[in-house]
Amino acid sequence: MSIVSAANADFLSRERTVASPVFNRWLVPPAALAIHLCIGMAYGFSVFWLPLSRVVGGAQPKECPEALGFFATLVATDCDWKVSWLGWTFTLFFVLLGSSAAVFGHWLETAGPRKAGLAAACCWCGGLLISAAGVYLHQIWMLWIGSGVIGGIGLGLGYISPVSTLIKWFPDRRGLATGLAIMGFGGGAMIGAPLADRLMGFYATPASPGVWQTFVTLAAIYFAFMVAGALGYRVPAEGWAPAGFTPPAAARNALVTHRHVHLDVAWKTPQFWLLWGVLCLNVSAGIGVLGMASPMLQEVFGGRLVGLDVGFDQLDADQKKQIAAIAAGFTGLLSLCNIGGRIGWASASDRFGRKLTYAIFFVLGFLLYASVPFAAKGGAVVIFVLVFAVIITMYGGGFATIPAYLADIFGTHHVGAIHGRLLTAWSTAGVLGPVLVNYIREYQLAHGVARAAAYNQTMYVLAGLLLCGLVCNLLVRPCADKYYMSDEEVAAQKNISVAQVVKEDDDVHADFEDFVEDGLEPAGTDDPPVAARPQPGSNSRSAQLVLAWAAVGVPLAWGVWMTLLKTAALFR
């Protein structure tokens, strides 16, 4: 095939992202991280709530008149927004994340990760710009539409865009690969929240908290990183495998299939719905605690956090500020554990197997949740904190392990789209978990239960959810033969011949001269057969690899450092 015809191919198409023989597969995780670290700011959006709730009234928020109707309130410019209204943006994030991942998952498999990543950048950053206009004009519905709906769609596209690609690049380390990428979603708030706080401080004036300017700045920064990440995506040529890799034998690990289940069939299998329950129940327990971490620590231990033997209600305003700062350190520690769990547990699942890893989540999680009331009653702050630190590692680990679990059960051909549909479990859990924690707490307080004991029943309920999740996990079995695609169906769907695989390699043509420089001069004007090509990564450029990892590693290290500074207050 000629160089000219390759140049005429669609730059954004999946065909143009097939890797050259000199491509290093370790360049794909930082590309995925570049996107996930940006969209992960969704977890840190609460940093904007208090400033946005005081735009009109300043230090003392000006409430809207009770007689003002709902729709009139949405467009009112002379009264402040309630934090509860702003919180709907957070709910929309995760509802739209799951639903958009389900809707667009199949499109992503055919369009390729580059196109999906660019679409995610446009939605997420475009949503921030619409939100900036909404803040400037004081129209909360624009915030909901901008960041909540359009940004939520960007979250879904960005979240699932690297999953299928990474699993295909790392058949030998599926858990590690997906853990590296999905780690970024948990770490995005560690970078974005302190950055947003500094930007608001820079832009703030007596008439403005600097939020809309911060949205615009973040949109520009995130767009640059997300576009770079999307353009960095590559997919392996058909039939590629790491050097020396031998697929595990089915007899040794019956849950790991070498065959493929079609998307339209996968969601009709019992395995899909059992895994849906596994993810939903694991996330429901974790996200409920994560959303209430700060008030829970303050209400359970009260003055004991600052050496006083009094309850939360007996503290004065200054003392409550002190324990709020300590609780912020607790929240920061949980963020670190969320990130560590994503990479740690996902990597461990490569050795333990996905089913055993989730069994550990549910059994250990049950014991830890059940022990929380005893740690609280005994005033053991350190034990209480460490228990939740371990719990949140398993919350993050559940997200990072599920894509590899799906690939084990359903094969890799449609795993990105199947993962997209399974993320509706996250949308469900995003409502179920916080509702359980918040409403059980309110019920307990309304019936005279002391604040320090208001979470005890909640912990037992969450422990019960984990037992249900354990049952779902234990019931997972390999798919029946009737669900798998035949070899002919797989070949027809891939629609690939050796000549077409050659055609898909844009870098071989665009960087023709690099072949000569790397000692890989082709035998003639036509491309060599796929089998004759060197393995991707065999002649990688180390400088490019170092720069790619530094681009995501330096911001992540800064975010970890800022979080550690806040966490230190917890152990003083």
Let me know whether 394 and 281 are in one domain.
yes
Judge whether 139 lies within some domain: yes
The whole-angstrom distance between residue 402's C-alpha and the CA centroid of its chain comes to 12
Amino acid at 346: A
Let me know whether 279 and 145 are in one domain.
no
Number of folded domains that form the chain: 2
Question: Is 60 exceeded by the pLDDT of residue 513?
Answer: no
Of the given ranges (303-307, 401-405, 414-418), which has the lowest mean pLDDT?
Answer: 303-307
Let me know whether 229 and 339 are in one domain.
no
Question: Is 80 exceeded by the pLDDT of residue 552?
Answer: yes
Judge whether 405 lies within some domain: yes
Query: Which pLDDT band, with edges at 50, 70 and 90, does 544 fall under?
Result: confident
Judge whether 571 lies within some domain: no
Q: In the Cβ-directed half-sphere of 79, how many Cα atoms lie within 13 Å?
A: 14
Alpha helices in 413-541 (DSSP H): 415-422, 424-446, 456-474, 487-494, 498-503, 506-510, 512-517
Question: Is 60 exceeded by the pLDDT of residue 28?
Answer: yes
Let me know whether 285 and 434 are in one domain.
yes
pLDDT score at 88: 84
Whichever domain contains 455, its CATH number is: 1.20.1250.20
pLDDT score at 570: 66
Let me know whether 104 and 141 are in one domain.
yes
pLDDT score at 133: 96
Amino acid at 443: Y
Report which of residues 189 and 463 the model is more confident about. Answer: 463
Let me know whether 78 and 41 are in one domain.
yes
Q: How far apart are CA 503 and CA 520, in angstroms?
A: 18
pLDDT score at 320: 79
Question: Is 50 exceeded by the pLDDT of residue 507?
Answer: no
Question: Is 70 exceeded by the pLDDT of residue 266?
Answer: yes
Q: Are 306 and 452 in contact (CB under 8 A)?
A: no
The pTM (predicted TM-score) of the whole model is 0.79
pLDDT score at 572: 64
Judge whether 555 lies within some domain: no
Q: Are 458 and 449 in contact (CB under 8 A)?
A: no
Let me know whether 215 and 78 are in one domain.
yes
Phi and psi torsions of 484, nearest 5°: -80, 150
Query: Which pLDDT band, with edges at 50, 70 and 90, does 10 fall under?
Result: confident
| Neighbouring residues of 479: CB distance < 8 A, sequence distance ≥ 6 | 257, 261, 269, 271, 409, 410
Residue bearing tokens 């050659």? 502
pLDDT score at 108: 85
Let me know whether 282 and 235 are in one domain.
no
Q: Are 426 and 275 in contact (CB under 8 A)?
A: no
pLDDT score at 6: 43
Q: How far apart are CA 530 and CA 237, in angstroms?
A: 8
Mean pLDDT of 383-393: 90
Of 48-52, 171-175, 267-271, 537-541, the range with the highest mean pLDDT is 267-271
Question: Is 50 exceeded by the pLDDT of residue 170?
Answer: yes
Mean pLDDT of 91-118: 88
Range of the domain at 88: 10-64+72-242+497-520+532-540
pLDDT score at 121: 97
Q: How far apart are CA 13 and CA 110, in angstroms?
A: 9
Q: What is the pLDDT of residues 172-224, one digit of tens each?
A: 888 888 888 788 888 888 898 889 988 998 998 888 889 999 999 999 999 99
pLDDT score at 59: 64
Share above pLDDT 70 across residues of the chain, in percent, rounded to a whole number: 88
Let me know whether 218 and 290 are in one domain.
no
Mean pLDDT of 58-87: 79
Query: Which pLDDT band, with edges at 50, 70 and 90, does 501 fall under?
Result: very low
- Average pLDDT for the chain: 82
Let me know whether 411 and 511 are in one domain.
no
Mean pLDDT of 421-448: 84
Let me know whether 396 and 508 are in one domain.
no
Question: Is 50 exceeded by the pLDDT of residue 539?
Answer: no
pLDDT score at 494: 66
Q: How far apart are CA 470 and CA 493, in angstroms?
A: 36
Judge whether 418 lies within some domain: yes
CA distances from 39 to 2, 160, 173 (A): 39, 12, 24
Query: Which pLDDT band, with edges at 50, 70 and 90, does 250 fall under?
Result: low
Judge whether 470 lies within some domain: yes
Judge whether 31 lies within some domain: yes
Q: How far apart are CA 50 and CA 83, in angstroms?
A: 7
Let me know whether 17 and 137 are in one domain.
yes
pLDDT score at 534: 43
Judge whether 507 lies within some domain: yes
Question: Is 70 exceeded by the pLDDT of residue 541?
Answer: no
Q: How far apart are CA 186 and CA 225, in angstroms?
A: 17
CA distances from 143 to 90, 121, 137 (A): 11, 18, 10
pLDDT score at 21: 80
Amino acid at 240: W
Question: Is 70 exceeded by the pLDDT of residue 162?
Answer: yes
CA distances from 68 to 65, 78, 134, 204, 294 (A): 5, 12, 20, 30, 33
Amino acid at 284: S
Report which of residues 571 and 142 the model is more confident about. Answer: 142
**Is 478 exposed, middle or buried (CB count within 10 Å of its CB: 0-12, 13-18, 19+)?**
middle
Nearest CA to 341 out of 521, 532, 559, 179 is that of 179
Nearest CA to 158 out of 88, 236, 227 is that of 227
